[in-house]
Amino acid sequence: MTFAERVRECVGEIVHVATIVDTVPGILLSSNNNFLTLRASSAVGYGPTGNVATLTSSTAFVRTTE
């Protein structure tokens, strides 16, 4: 199982995706070898509500709290 496949098991959960430049909080929508996609909201501090795609290869770790 790859990192992306393992992260995919958390789809629907609130996660924090940590990259070298920032940590993006949101609800995980999808995960594949190219991108992790989150629905971020202003309530969790990452700009306006919307989908954020982070490069899977640049992701250091994903934290889940559920």
Nearer to another protein, 12 or 49 (CB): 12
Amino acid type, 44:
V
Do 50 and 8 contact (CB within 8 A), yes or no? Answer: no
CA–CA distance, 1 with 45 (Å, rounded to integer): 32
6 part of the interface to another protein, by CB under 8 A: yes
By CB under 8 A, residue 49 contacts another protein = no
The reply to whether 30 sits near another protein by the rule CB under 8 A is no
What angle (nearest 5°) sits at the alpha carbon of residue 43, between those of residues 37 and 45?
70
Question: How many residues line the site for another protein (CB under 8 A)?
Answer: 22
Among 11, 23, 30, 44, binds another protein (CB under 8 A): 23
